[in-house]
Amino acid sequence: MKMGAGMFWGILLILIGLGIVIRVVFNIDFPIVKFIIAFFFIFLGIKILLGNHTFWKVRHDENTTMFGERRVEGLDAEHKEFNVIFGSNMIDLRDIDLSQGSKEINVNVIFGSTDIKISEKTPIRIKAEAVFGSAQMPNGNNASFGSTQYKTEAFSKDTNYLYIKADVVFGGIEVKSY
């Protein structure tokens, strides 16, 4: 899903229509013009915060997913951080190679969702922090406002392991074990 000028104007027209329906049908005084101006400033603020000052295209690097979907399989030496903003990611870490040493990745989700697939046979330690979001672990632990931790049965501090640091704000992260 890309948030471009077409989507912005589409949402804006829908909100104008809803405002008119509320005003006519329910006889509620709804300040349509003020609402349109507020929505425009919110949209503009999000664009500026994300570093995308154009309304026509969405920029992102290989580690960041904005207004779209991405599937990541494995873990490169270069990809140690994944960011999801108004989008969704599926990160498959079931076949990760830890023979060269322990690895660490950071997953940040803002107004989006991420599914992380892990193997129960791989030594993994996860620390997830959520603020107005959801971080769900394979053992059923869930954090909505706070933090939660998870370790696979194969985890030991003495062996090579994968450490996942996950932060979620107004979104969701779900770790699934296979």
Q: Which residues contact 72 (CB under 8 A, 6 or more apart)?
A: 79, 82, 89, 90, 91, 92
pLDDT for position 47: 67
CA-only gyration radius of the chain, Å: 20
Band (pLDDT 50/70/90 cuts) for residue 5 is: low
DSSP assignment of 129-151: EEEEEEEE-TTS-EEEEEEEEEE
Residue of 106 and 35 predicted with greater confidence: 106
Residue 77 predicted with pLDDT over 70: no
> Worst-scoring range by mean pLDDT, 8-12, 74-78, 83-87, 146-150?
74-78
Q: CB 124: neighbour CB atoms within 10 A?
A: 26
Contact in structure between 173 and 135 (CB atoms under 8 Å): yes
Angle 82-86-92 from CA coordinates, rounded to 5°? 40
Q: In this predicted model, what pLDDT tens digit does every residue of 79-95 receive, in sequence order?
A: 688 889 888 899 998 88
> Cα dihedral angle (158, 159, 162, 166), rounded to 10 degrees?
-10
pLDDT for position 149: 92
Contact in structure between 144 and 133 (CB atoms under 8 Å): yes
Furthest CA-CA distance within the chain: 69
Q: In this predicted model, what pLDDT tens digit does every residue of 31-75 receive, in sequence order?
A: 777 777 777 777 777 766 666 544 444 445 677 888 788 888 876
Query: Which single residue is written with the structure tokens 């929505």?
Result: 39
Which of 143, 171, 174 has its CA nearest to residue 86?
Answer: 171
**For the whole model, what pTM was predicted?**
0.63
Residues in the chain: 178
Band (pLDDT 50/70/90 cuts) for residue 108 is: very high
